[in-house]
Structure 1
Amino acid sequence: MIPIRAYVAADFAGVAELWRAVFPDDPPYSRAEVAIPAKLAVQPQYLLIATDGERVVGTASGGYDGTRGWLYAVAVAASHRRQGLGARLVQAVEARLAAAGCGKINLQVRAGNADVTGFYESLGYCVEPRVSMGKRLGVNAGGTGTSGP
């Protein structure tokens, strides 16, 4: 069975490679070079990694603000999909959030990504009647290629 564990600095290159493959259209502020240092500064215990030998083959990240939990960056290498690894990663983050007192987890899926929506529905998540809104702040707020999810 593929082990799931907390992220360590030596995982960076593997996570960056995986995210480039799984999220090729991500905006610059969601890429590993920006997102991982930001996550490590706030609740690093919710950044989990799955490895097959030395290779990073999965990630999941979460956060908790005291009211709601969030699930981010669930990624599984194409070679390891449909084997239950994604579900295990989500469940591992859920367990950590629940242990912190989190009673509800939110996540966002890009419109039109029916496969991913179906995956989350199989884990008990449902589409809620919400409008997702966002605003970029600070250094990544403007300029070409920095707007979007």
Structure 2
Amino acid sequence: MIRQFEWRDYDAVTRVWEAAGREVVPRGELEAKLARDPELFLVAETGRRIAGVVMGAYDGRRGWILRLAVHPDHRRQGIATRLVEALEARFVRLGCPRVNLLVLPDNESGLRFWQELGYLPCPDVLCTKPMQGGAVSAG
């Protein structure tokens, strides 16, 4: 079952991120994200266990898919695809015209997964700048 994240899921979600080798989003950062678009943070349950997670963001112009992860014990069961499809449906309901995501250049299986879902690689250059004082305390 795919559903919206609830705070009681946080520990289970962090275990999925850790098992999948993803960086854990600290509580403070997640609180700020959920204040904006909580309906775009989804979890996949298998039985009563969180097996997968995806976080989306929408700024009114573009959607972003972030932090897709499936616990290694639950891979190759279509969970990632179902999470993405559910998130895409929510983007459509919001009127989102385009969705972006980032894939590391050496992640061949990840790139293949996204291409199978219709996402096309773009030759854009990612630039990033950490904002001083922009970090939210994890409290």
Q: TM-score of the superposition, structure 2-length normalised?
A: 0.89
Match of 1:31 in 2: 25
Q: Say if 1:39 and 1:47, in contact at 8 Å, map to a contact too.
A: no
Q: Is 1:127 the equivalent of 2:125?
A: no
1:115 partnered with 2:100: no
- Answering whether residue 70 of structure 2 is matched by residue 76 of structure 1, we say yes
Which residue identity does 1:101 align to in structure 2?
Answer: G
Check if 1:66 corresponds to 2:60: yes
Give RMSD over aligned pairs: 1.6
User: Tell me, what secondary structure is at the counterpart of 1:86?
Assistant: helix
- For 2:16, which of 11, 15, 18 is the aligned residue? 18
Shift, 1:38, TM fit: 2.6
Match of 1:5 among 3, 6, 12: 3
In the TM superposition, residue 139 of structure 1 has moved relative to its aligned partner by 3.5
Q: CA deviation at 1:53?
A: 2.2
| Structure 1 unaligned regions, length at least 5 | 142-149
For 2:79 and 2:29, locate their aligned partners in 1 and report how far apart those are by CA, in whole Å: 22
SS in 2 for 1:50: strand
**Which residue number in structure 1 is paired with residue 99 of structure 2?**
105
Residue 99 and residue 22 in structure 1: after superposition, are their counterparts in 2 closer, same or farther (change >3 A)? same
Structure 1 length-normalised TM = 0.84
Question: Is residue 95 from structure 1 mapped to residue 95 from structure 2 by the alignment?
Answer: no
| TM-fit CA distance, 1:34 | 4.4
* Equivalent position of 1:48 in the other structure: 42
Matched length:
135
Give secondary structure in 2 for the equivalent of 1:117.
helix
Per-residue deviation, 1:134: 0.8
Identical-residue share of aligned pairs (%): 38
